[in-house]
Amino acid sequence: MSVRRAWRRGVLAAALPLGLAPGCGGSSPAPPAQPSAPGESEAPAGPAERPRGSARQRLVEAALDVSEADEDQGRWEAALALVDAVAAELRAADAEPALLARALARRGSLLVVKARRVTGDYAAALAALDEARAIAEKAGDRRATAAALEDIGLAHYIRRASSGDGDYAEARRAFERALALREKAGDKDGTAETLFHLGLVAEVSGNRKEAWDRYHASIAIAERTRDRQRAAAVRRHFGSLYESSNELEKALREYEKSLALVREAKQRSALAPALAAVGDTLYALRRDAAKALPYLNEALAVANELGDKAHVASVRRSLGDIARDKGDAQAAAEHYRAALAAAEAARERGVVASVRASMKKLGGKGAPAEGGRAP
């Protein structure tokens, strides 16, 4: 965690009028009482005054910053609990609409994470985000409106990618609206984020030239602003584009750069896919299990720790493929069964299909029949 975020966590624990200190399960300690000056009597204790105006804004911004730190470390449930509490407090206080919109947009983005990891309910996330967008638009807050639109686009993108239906028109429309607002507002970090997401849509839609252009524009901003997390994400997708054209040496170099940036940024939530990309490409390029397995085993451990079933599934499938190539049908079948169970739990139809394809190659040696369910 950065010094700035650590400071903000300390401020929140002492100052936010919430029942819990951010990111932990215990009660927040009350600030110590200040002694009375000589000759003065102590005033009777009253209820703590809630912050107003700029003071409240600083506390809300601190809470949202802490929620981002928690999400980066895979603690999205703690982040969501914090933002839920902040949003409830703002509603109760009839706070400034723009401030409420920012909190609701952040809440919606975390509901997208919850939908992907647990419930599959993107409708709840989209409803929260649309409320945030409407409030922000009414308040004339371009940044909050763009943030809500960004996550609306992301919710549509993830939902479509998980289902495998290939229709990304809703995601593209939301991202394009967000980009226009962010460019008008001079929001460099936000512009880099939206350009990256438009690159994702172009990549999965088969428009390689647009994907390269969007990614290059995004990383140019990220490198100027020293945003290692964004640069890591773009580097991983540079690798993906190279891999899709069978330029595996170039892909591996990009994946290794991405992994180094993720480690530097201490972004645990992005560690499993970064590790898996390096491990998979090493094995595809050199068929050297001894070099690939440390990356894949670490990726599996991180994904299990974070409850990231989608990446558990994809890594287990890779481990099954390696075991199959080594002639260990029993180990391969065990990995494939675990991969199928995780992919079905995560509602990742594309991963389910790829696992079943790997099972088919294994044949009847311990794999369930095509179309069946893992035990």
**Mean pLDDT score of the chain:** 84
Residue 51 neighbours by CB under 8 Å, 6+ apart:
15, 58, 59
Pair of tokens at residue 89: 């407090």
Reported as a pLDDT band with limits 50, 70 and 90, residue 232 is very high
Tell me how far apart the alpha carbons of residues 126 and 158 are, in angstroms, rounded to a whole number.
Answer: 12
- DSSP state string for 132-199: HHHHHHHHT-HHHHHHHHHHHHHHHHHHHHHHT----HHHHHHHHHHHHHHHHHT-HHHHHHHHHHHH
Tell me how far apart the alpha carbons of residues 18 and 11 are, in angstroms, rounded to a whole number.
Answer: 12
Q: Tens digits of per-residue pLDDT, 59-101?
A: 899 999 999 999 888 888 999 999 999 999 999 988 889 899 9
Reported as a pLDDT band with limits 50, 70 and 90, residue 236 is very high
Tokens 């400071």, located at residue: 7
What residues are paired with 27 via a beta bridge? 20
Residue 26 scores a pLDDT above 50: no
Tokens 């819990």, located at residue: 20
How far the first Cα of the chain sits from its last, in Å, is 41
Residue 49 neighbours by CB under 8 Å, 6+ apart:
none
Residue 5 scores a pLDDT above 60: no
Residue 365 scores a pLDDT above 80: no
Reported as a pLDDT band with limits 50, 70 and 90, residue 375 is very low
pLDDT at 57: 87
Identify the residue with better confidence: 175 or 109.
175
State residue 74 phi and psi, 5-degree precision: 85, 5
Contact 75, 268 (CB under 8 A): no
- DSSP state string for 206-266: T-HHHHHHHHHHHHHHHHHTT-HHHHHHHHHHHHHHHHHTT-HHHHHHHHHHHHHHHHHHT
Contact 5, 69 (CB under 8 A): yes
Q: pTM above the 0.85 mark?
A: no
pLDDT at 364: 52
pLDDT at 182: 96
pLDDT at 117: 79
Nearest to 17 by CA among 53, 54, 60: 60
Pair of tokens at residue 165: 């239906």
Q: Tens digits of per-residue pLDDT, 192-231?
A: 999 999 999 999 999 999 999 999 999 999 999 999 999 9
Reported as a pLDDT band with limits 50, 70 and 90, residue 51 is very low
Residue 3 scores a pLDDT above 90: no
Contact 269, 73 (CB under 8 A): yes
Residue 315 neighbours by CB under 8 Å, 6+ apart:
272, 276, 296, 299, 300, 303
In three-state secondary structure terms, 227 is: coil
Tokens 């369910």, located at residue: 373
Q: Measure Cα distances from 96 to 52, 53, 141, 234 in Å.
A: 10, 8, 11, 36
Tell me how far apart the alpha carbons of residues 95 and 99 are, in angstroms, rounded to a whole number.
Answer: 7
Question: 271-286 and 289-306 helices cross at what angle (nearest 10)?
Answer: 160
Report which listed range, 135-149, 288-302, 343-357, is most confident. 288-302
pLDDT at 211: 98
Q: Tens digits of per-residue pLDDT, 308-360?
A: 999 999 999 999 999 999 999 999 999 999 999 999 988 888 889 989 999 98
Tell me how far apart the alpha carbons of residues 313 and 349 are, in angstroms, rounded to a whole number.
Answer: 11
